[in-house]
Amino acid sequence: MDYDFNLFVIGGGSGGIAAGRRAASYGAKVGLAENDRLGGTCVNRGCIPKKFMVYSSRFPSTFLESEGYGWSKVSPTFDWSKMKTAIDNELNRLNGIYQGMLDKAGVELFRGTARLIDDHTIEIGDRKVTAEKILIAVGGYPVKPDIPGKEYLNISDAMFELSEAPKRMIIVGAGYIAVEFACIMNGLGVDVTLVLRRDKILRGFDEDIRTEIQEAIQKHGIKVMTNSQPIGVEKKGDCFYLKLKNTEDGSECTLETDAVNLSATGRVPNIDNLGLKNTGVKVDKGAIVVDEYSKTSVENIYAVGDCTNRINLTPVAIKEGRAFADTEFGGKSWKMSYENVPSAIFTTPEAATVGMTEEEARSKFGDAVRIHRAKFRPAYHTITGLDEKVFMKLVVDGNSDRVLGAHMVGEHAGEIIQGVAIAVKMGAKKSDFDATVAIHPSIAEEFVTMS
């Protein structure tokens, strides 16, 4: 049977674009549908604009720190609209770049919502096309807790649409998105309260990392309410009132905020309107089921990225997309490895991690696990006078001496762990770290000098 396309990609985010371009480079005729701006969540409502906001939020502390180095005291003012305009302009530029990349690769772009009619047919608006292979890369979307007044809760995407910063903000959630936004808004001068259902942030990360960040953000002025379950929201005048129930003793309280309740309680795969019921694609717990080569239960349909709910990180989706294209169109079969995937949390202080947590290592290797820790004030802050610390940790298998995990809280953690991740991925031993000459003076040297 002749098809309109060798490959049709549903979703113009990082994973879909990477797969489409790579497949086209091998001579495949590729179509791609996107109903929003190109680049997906990461470029438009996620990591890119959020990182710009992180940069902006850290200038107040930089002004203060400079005084210790002889700079005169300044009284800076912040213009939210100027920051927003600068970020929007950069996102528009990036969207143009993505469009240019698709055009150069020869990928035909369909603007609209794509829906599967059967295993080989896709409907976009009033047009239907056929494809030999179909790749689903529609990502995920944020969800709100199902409570009375939830219409007053803004999802995390709304952070990038605020016309001005509120004076007070309540953020509901303990994941990295919630904690990052709490730090951003706190740095920009907003009175922030972070509401957690349990007693600690960042479930799934190493316990020491969780503790270090939670203590640090509280020291920086963020109020953290633990064991608190949202049960309702009301609006009176210009204020919002979030009603909370204590998960331990059942007591209730109400918090007032000036303008925004930011709900950052998780994301789910964006597959509800895909027409999957018209195919044999299996779904489990709201996510598309795929094998190690990203193939679904239907022979010619594949899926990558957050809609599969494996590891929801942009670089992972990109690698999954490229692995799919190389395997199916390039004659270079390989599969994505989910072992030792590094990640960063752009809080203040920043954190980054790769490999096993201490808890994961002990569950697998038991008492053979050795832990190496270091906590210190970096040289930079010995002169600023601020009580800022760096925490670093190596998790080691005592039998093989292999470094199983590396974790850090402190300035430049993401940049530092990126390099350490190469060593961990290659199976480096603690003795290899010890044998490496330190770059002195630096924060990173502690990874090769800690005992």
Active site (catalytic) residues: 440
CB 14 within 8 A of CB 38: no
DSSP assignment string, 235-248: EETTEEEEEEEETT
As beta bridge partners, residue 274 has none
Distances (CA, A) of 95 to 24, 71, 99, 105, 242: 20, 39, 6, 16, 37
Does the CA dihedral 415-61-45-271 come out positive or negative? positive
Q: Is 353 helix (H, G, I), strand (E, B) or coil?
A: strand
The Cα 175–Cα 172 span in angstroms is 9
CB 168 within 8 A of CB 262: no
Pairing mode, if any, of strands 287-288 and 121-124? unpaired
Phi, then psi, of 17 in degrees rounded to 5? -65, -40
Closest CA to 422 of 447, 443, 399: 447
Hey, what are 439's tokens?
């770059």
